[in-house]
Amino acid sequence: MEKTGNHLFDSLQDSPLQTTILRAAKRVTLLPGDGLCERGKIAKSLFFLTQGVASSSVRLGDKTSCEVGLVGAEGLIGYEVLFDEEPSRTDTKMQSQGSGLCVPLPLLTRLFTDAPGFRERVLSFASCQSSIASQTIACAMRHSAEQRIVRWLLQVSDRIQSDTIRETQQGISERLNVTRPHVSLIVHKMQRQGLLRSMRGTTLIADRRGLESRACECYGVCRAEIAGLTHDFASRRKVPNILFPLGEPATPRTTSEESAA
């Protein structure tokens, strides 16, 4: 089967799981600002991004919001609902243009319960997200606004595989909780140093190595987490034919895959 570009989905490797998901999926093109998960609601569908990056944020009582995570083509957006079927705690919207597979929640809930191969991959992705969230909290508490802006620009650039990042300085300010004048000051300083070029609503990474040398350790730690996850997905053994037709009872825990694990 042709690779879609989503690492979690592609790791299912020509299994009946992939065929089942693809049969129910809608291929979607996404624009910046498109909503994927809304706080307080249970998503009807989850997304395997194949291109682009989405941003999750938490809204606070004073009506401000802060970005708490970025997800690209490494995993499954909205996966948390598979654990507890509770409304989302975060808003997740596209930061960039992109594309993906939009898959109805009931099917993925069923697979999460019945198909160990799928469940294992979602859990690996969740573990990776948890490690990245921990590092991001440490970053927000200890590292400078400049370091956080550099980390963010590099993380988005990695996800969209481009050095051109479409985001206003106001947008960066709101995402990272850095005042707009402070963002402007930092961006202008890095522009003078030849690291960035800033145009209306767009930032171009002009010297990637130079920018990486300004990043705090958090960028490297988070990048390594994702590299580890995608390597793990790429090296997974083929998923055995363990998917029972929809409507059959749940798979017992003695599937061939789990016995072999």
CA distance 210 to 212: 5
Among 3, 27, 17, 1, CA closest to 103 = 27
CB of 227 to Zn ion, least distance (A): 18
CA-angle at 133, arms to 37 and 72, nearest 5°: 50
Of 68 and 216, which has the nearer Cβ to Zn ion?
Answer: 216
Between 218 and 229, CB nearer to Zn ion? 218
**Residue 135 · residue 222 · CB < 8 Å:** yes
Q: Which of 183, 211, 216, 239 binds Zn ion (CB under 5 A)?
A: 216
Q: Does 223 bind Zn ion (CB under 5 A)?
A: no
The one-letter code for the residue type at 219 is: Y
- Residue whose CB is less far from Zn ion, 108 or 216: 216
User: Residue 135 or 169: which CB sits closer to Zn ion?
Assistant: 135
Minimum distance, C-beta of residue 115 to Zn ion, in the bound complex (Å): 37
Residue 204 CB, nearest distance to Zn ion (Å)? 23
Question: CA 15 → CA 10, 19, 40, 219, distances in Å?
Answer: 10, 7, 34, 34
Is the CB of 30 or the CB of 218 nearer to Zn ion?
A: 218
d(CA 248, CA 245): 6
DSSP string covering 121-140: HHHHHHHHHHHHHHHHHHHH
The number of residues that bind Zn ion (CB under 5 A) is: 4
Residues in 137-156 that interact with Zn ion by CB under 5 A = 139, 143
Residues 121-140 that bind Zn ion (CB under 5 A): 139
Q: Which residues contact Zn ion (rule: CB under 5 A)? A: 139, 143, 216, 218
